Structure 1
C-alpha cells in the first residue's frame, strides 16, 4: 500500500518540540488508522513520521528497520537543520559503502508512537476534541507493544512484509526485541544493543524520579500546558529529569575522571551560585533537551519503558524470548550501569538462534551504544554479511 503523505507546517508547542505534521528535514508521514491499545481503548487516526535511505528492492527483501532511543527520533543520520535540531544520532553508519550500505539496503527509521518529532503523541491534535486542541493529559497510557503495533501498521503501508534486520538500542532495543517476539515471521535478523528483556526495579526507580520532577513543575498544569505562552512549559522539571537520566547514561569512572571535583572555569562552587564542572555539564544537556523535546512525550515514553516485559502474558521472560526465530546479535556496553551486561546476557541466552553476547569495551557507560559507532558497525556488518535464510516457523 502506498503511504498518505502530508505537508503541514509545524507550530512549536510550549516545550519547544515539533508537532506531528512538520514536513521539514526529509520526514515522510503515513496515516496508519486506529491503534488498539494493550491496556484497552484505542488511539484514532494515528500518524507516523519516518525517514528512509536507499531503495526498496522489487521483492522487498532488503528492508532494515532502525529504532531510536528515548530522546532520539527518525533522524538517524544527517546534519542538523530545519525540522532536525540535532545531527543524526548514528551518523556514519548509513549511506553508500557504509555499514548500512544504502546501495544494498533500504533503511527505515520511524519516530516512535508517543514521541514529539512527527508521530502521534501528546502534543498532537486530539481528533476527539471539538477544537482540535492537543491531547495533553488526555493522551492514553501506551506500552512498548502498542508502539510495535503502530510500527507493524507502518510496515504494512510501506509494503514491507519482512525485515532483513530490525535494530535498536536502549528503548529502541526494547521495541526491536518486541518486534521479534510479536512478529517472529517478519524479522529475519535482530540486533539489540544496551537493553533488557524486562524493565528492572532499579530502572523503574530512576524513571520514577524523572517523571516526578516533571509533574512537580508549577508550569506542568497536569499535562495541559500547550496553551501557555512561548517558553512557559515545564522546562525546569524536564531539565531536572534530563539531569537525573544523563547521570545514569554515563559511567561513574568517566564522570570522576573527566570532572572530579573541578570547578566550572570562572566559578567558585564553595558558596554563592558557583558550580562544579560536572554541574555545568548536566546543565548543558538539560538545556539542549528542553529546547527540542516535549515534557509530556518524555513522560509517556518513560512510562512505556517501565511497561517493558517480554514475558508478560507469555509465561515469563524465558518463554517470551523463546518465541524469537530471528538470527540475533546482542551487544552490551562494558561500563553500562543502567542496562547492564548481565541483563543483555539474559537476552542472548534466551534466544534460540543468538550468537554469544558481544561486550563493547567502552568507558562511556550506557551512551556507549551511541558513541562506539565503529564497534557497532563491525557487528552490523557481521550480522548482515551472512546469507539470508528462509523464514522459520513460529513457535
Structure 2
C-alpha cells in the first residue's frame, strides 16, 4: 500500500482504498480518480445507537493526527479540543479525522503514483473543498458510520464543514464552524499569491517536477513564513518579540539563505524549518488553490431539501486578521436567508490571532463543549 511522504505520530494512520475504476471519484474539475488512498485516525468508540460520531476536518497544513492516544505519541494538532474530558470528548464520542485529498500525510495527492507509475506532481488534478468532502463521506460510508453527531472544523477545516452543511445537511445533527470563511478576501488572495510566487520562482521547483523529498525548500519556507504572519495578530507579535535582536548563537536553518537580525525573524525561520520536515510544495499549492477558489454560497445548496435542519454554531476571534468575525457574520447572514438560523459566538480576549482556535482559549472551548453536548438531532443515514 502507498504511504505519504510525511508520516504523523509515532504510529502510522490507518489507510484504506476508496473508489474504483467502476465507481471513480469524479472531481469538480471534471477529472476522475479511479482509486483514492485515505489516511485517517479514529478515537473512542461508536455507541449502541450509532449516533455519537464526530468528524473533525483539519486546516491547511493539518493531518489525521488530531490528538494523541497515549503518552508515547507526539501531540496532535488539536490537543486543546480533542481528548478525554475535552469538548470533543473521546470518552463520549467516536472521533474521526482524515488527511484531505491532495494532502501529503497519507491521503492521495501530488506525491502519489499516477497512471504511468511516477508521482503525479503538477499533473495531479485540481482539488476543491467539495472534493475533500466527497472523500470524507466515502470514508464514513466504508466505515459503516451513519448520521454524524457533528462535523467540526477550523480555518480550511471550517470551509469543509460549511461545504458539508450546504450540500449534505442531513449528514450531521450539528456543525461547528470555527475561524472560517465562505470565501477568501482580496487581502487573503494577495498573501497566497505571494506565497505561490515564492514557491514557483525557486529554481528547485522545476515546474513541480522535483524528486520526492526534494524540491523548492527555500521557496516553500518563505511561503510558510508569509502564511504564519497571517495566523498571528500584530499585538501578539509585538508582545512576544517587539524589536529585540535575535540571541547570539541562534542556529542557522537550512531553508534560509540570509539569517535575519531580529528575534521575530529567527522565529519565522524556525517555523519554516519545522514546516519543511512535514510538507510538500505541490500539496501546499493544491490546498491553497482549493481555499482560494472556494465560494460557498455561489453554488446552489441543498438546505431546502433537508429532512430537518441541523444545528449550527459559528465561532470567531476578534483578533483574527485572517478570518475574523466579519467572515462568520457573512456566513450567518447567508444561512439566515436560506432559512437556517445559526448561532455566532466570538472571543474578544484571546490576542494571538487566527491560531487561537488551536489553543487553550477558555471561552471558545466552553462554547464548543456546550454546543456539542446540546445537539439534539433525529437519526438517519448518509445519502
TM-score higher than 0.5? yes
Q: TM-score, normalised by structure 2?
A: 0.88
How far has the Cα of 1:357 moved from its partner?
Answer: 3.0
From 353, 357, 361, give the equivalent of 1:369: 357
Asked if 1:281 corresponds to 2:271, the answer is no
How far has the Cα of 1:24 moved from its partner?
Answer: 6.2
How does 1:12-161 map onto structure 2 within 5 Å?
12=5, 17-18=6-7, 25-33=11-19, 34-78=24-68, 87-126=75-114, 128-129=115-116, 132-161=117-146
1:356 is matched with 344
The answer to whether the 8 Å contact 1:321/1:350 transfers is no
2:178 is matched with 193
Stretches of structure 1 that go unaligned for 5 or more consecutive residues are 1-5
How far has the Cα of 1:94 moved from its partner?
Answer: 2.6
2:329 is matched with 345
Q: Cα 1:262–1:323, aligned 2, differ >3 Å: closer, same or farther?
A: farther
The answer to whether the 8 Å contact 2:16/2:37 transfers is yes
Stretches of structure 2 that go unaligned for 5 or more consecutive residues are 251-257
Q: TM-score, normalised by structure 1?
A: 0.85
The answer to whether the 8 Å contact 1:62/1:104 transfers is yes
How does 1:163-174 map onto structure 2 within 5 Å?
163-174=148-159
Q: Which stretch shows the higher mean deviation, 250-259 or 88-97?
A: 88-97
Q: Which stretch shows the higher mean deviation, 343-352 or 278-287?
A: 343-352
Aligned partners of 2:71 and 2:26: how far apart in 1?
A: 35
1:263 is matched with 245
Aligned alpha-carbon RMSD (Å): 2.6
Residue-by-residue CA offset, 1:201-236 (whole Å, 9 max, x unaligned): 221111111111111111111111125xx6x42110
Aligned partners of 1:348 and 1:11: how far apart in 2?
A: 37
Aligned partners of 2:345 and 2:11: how far apart in 1?
A: 36
How far has the Cα of 1:93 moved from its partner?
Answer: 2.9
How far has the Cα of 1:119 moved from its partner?
Answer: 0.3
The answer to whether the 8 Å contact 1:77/1:91 transfers is yes
Q: Which stretch shows the higher mean deviation, 195-204 or 92-101?
A: 92-101
Q: The residue matched to 1:357 in structure 2 has which SS?
A: strand
Q: The residue matched to 1:101 in structure 2 has which SS?
A: coil
Q: The residue matched to 2:177 in structure 1 has which SS?
A: strand
Q: Cα 1:101–1:139, aligned 2, differ >3 Å: closer, same or farther?
A: same
4+ runs deviating over 4 angstroms: 79-82, 319-324
Asked if 1:300 corresponds to 2:286, the answer is yes
The answer to whether the 8 Å contact 2:9/2:65 transfers is no
Residue-by-residue CA offset, 1:213-270 (whole Å, 9 max, x unaligned): 111111111111125xx6x4211010000010001110011112221211102289xx
Asked if 1:313 corresponds to 2:299, the answer is yes
The answer to whether the 8 Å contact 1:249/1:366 transfers is yes
Asked if 1:336 corresponds to 2:320, the answer is yes
Aligned partners of 2:347 and 2:36: how far apart in 1?
A: 38
Aligned partners of 1:30 and 1:125: how far apart in 2?
A: 16
Aligned partners of 1:345 and 1:339: how far apart in 2?
A: 11
How far has the Cα of 1:29 moved from its partner?
Answer: 1.2
Q: Size of the alignment, in residue pairs?
A: 363
Asked if 1:250 corresponds to 2:235, the answer is no
1:3 is matched with none
Q: Cα 1:43–1:380, aligned 2, differ >3 Å: closer, same or farther?
A: same
The answer to whether the 8 Å contact 1:50/1:109 transfers is yes
2:189 is matched with 204
Asked if 1:182 corresponds to 2:181, the answer is no
